[in-house]
Structure 1
Amino acid sequence: MKKDVTGCITRDAISIKNDKGNYVLFFSVAVNDRYYTKAKGEYEETDFIDCSMLASPKLADSLVKGRIVSLHGNLKPDVYFKKDDKKKKNPVPSFRLFVNEIKWEGYRSSGSPKDSSAQQNPAPAGSAASGSGDDLPF
C-alpha cells in the first residue's frame, strides 16, 4: 500500500550492505496524530514506523535523530521481538515503510544539529512567515 508519512526520526540511520552489494538504510520515525472525542476530549497518539530504503551510506549521515522528514513509500506489515524475549516466542506486530522518496522538512525545535527548520527551508517571499503582515495562506 502506497503511503505518505511525515514524522520525526527517532534514531540515527544505520547502513548495512546486503548480499547483492546494495546498501540498505534503516531508521524509524514517530508520527503524531491528534484526535478529539467526547469521552476523552482532545488527545494525541504517536505511532512509531520502522523504515528502510536502498541508498548510499552517505545519506545515513543526514538521517539523524530529531530530523523531520516527509516519506513516500510502500507500507507493509512486519513483526519485531522485544529485547527481553530471548527465545523469540512473542512476535509484536508492526509496520515497515519501504521508502522511495524523502523530503527534508527541518529539525525538531528542542535541540538539533542545525538550529531550526527556518534555516533548512526558508519561507518564500510574500508568505506569512516572511513577515509580509498578511496572515492568509493564499
Structure 2
Amino acid sequence: MRSEPDDSDPFSFDGPEIMGCTGCQIDWEKGKNVTLKTIKKQQKHKGRGTVSSMTKRVSIDYFNFSAPPEAPESGDLDDASEAILAAEFETGHYVCEHIIPRSVLYFTGEAIEDDEGEEAYEEGAEDENNPS
C-alpha cells in the first residue's frame, strides 16, 4: 500500500492506494475452522428402507477475507480483481479504524448504546435546522 503522495506529482494524491496484496494461510485447530461449514444429512433409501448419513463441507465466503485473488506475473489486474481488492481494503481499514480500537466497548455493549445516542442527537439537530 502506498500512503504518501508521489514527490513528482503530489497534487494527484487521492489517499492510500493498494499496490499489492498477499494473503496468508491460517492453521485452524481441529474443528475450529470457521471458513468451512459441516453439513450432516441423513437419507432414507426408498427401496431398502435403510438410512445413510452424508457429511459435506461447504466453504463460507465471509471468512475468506485473508485469501485475496492471485496477481498475474505481469502485475496488471483485471477490473473485477481490482474491485475485490478495493472492497477488501475498505473492509480491513474500517475494522482497523473503528472496530478494533473499540472492541472492548462492543464486547460490553457500551459501543452500541453510544451509537444510538449519536443517531438520536443527529436527528434532533436536523429537526432544529429544518423547522416545519
TM-score if structure 2 supplies the norm length? 0.26
Per residue, is there more helix in 1 or in 2? 2
Q: Which has the higher contact order (CA 8 A, sep 6+)?
A: 1
TM-score by length of 1: 0.26
